[in-house]
A = this chain, B = another copy of it.
Amino acid sequence: MNWKVRIKTMLKKSILDPQGQAVAGGLEALGYKNIADVHVGKSMELVVKNIDDEKEVCQQVEEMCRRLLANIVIEDYTYQIEKMEG
């Protein structure tokens, strides 16, 4: 069975987010004065193949996040998995 996985990484709240500040500044410069708390992170989509057990997929995704996809010192990550048809 194959699984669609969507992973999102964001800087932890305590870490300075210069990219978020740049986007906030850009929006303000364009006239959007009602914007606050801008944060920029990374989103990843991938397919995990040939695993039947949902728990096992989650375990693998967790492991991939910790080993490669996220920098867990400065980033939090969340993910969703979804069974693929066919």
User: Residues of A at under 8 Å CB distance from B?
Assistant: 8-10, 20, 23-24, 26-27, 30, 32, 34-51, 60, 64, 67-69
Contacts and interface: CB of A to CB of B under 8 A. Distances in A.
Number of copies: 2
Contacts of A39: 44-46
A48 B32 CA distance: 9
A45 B8 CA distance: 11
Q: Which of A10, A26, A40, A50 has the most CB atoms of chain B within a 10 A radius of its CB?
A: A40
The list of the 9 closest CB pairs from A to B, nearest first, reads A43-B43, A34-B49, A38-B46, A36-B47, A37-B47, A41-B43, A39-B45, A8-B43, A34-B50
B37 A46 contact: yes
A39 B45 CA distance: 5
Contacts of A36: 46-47, 49
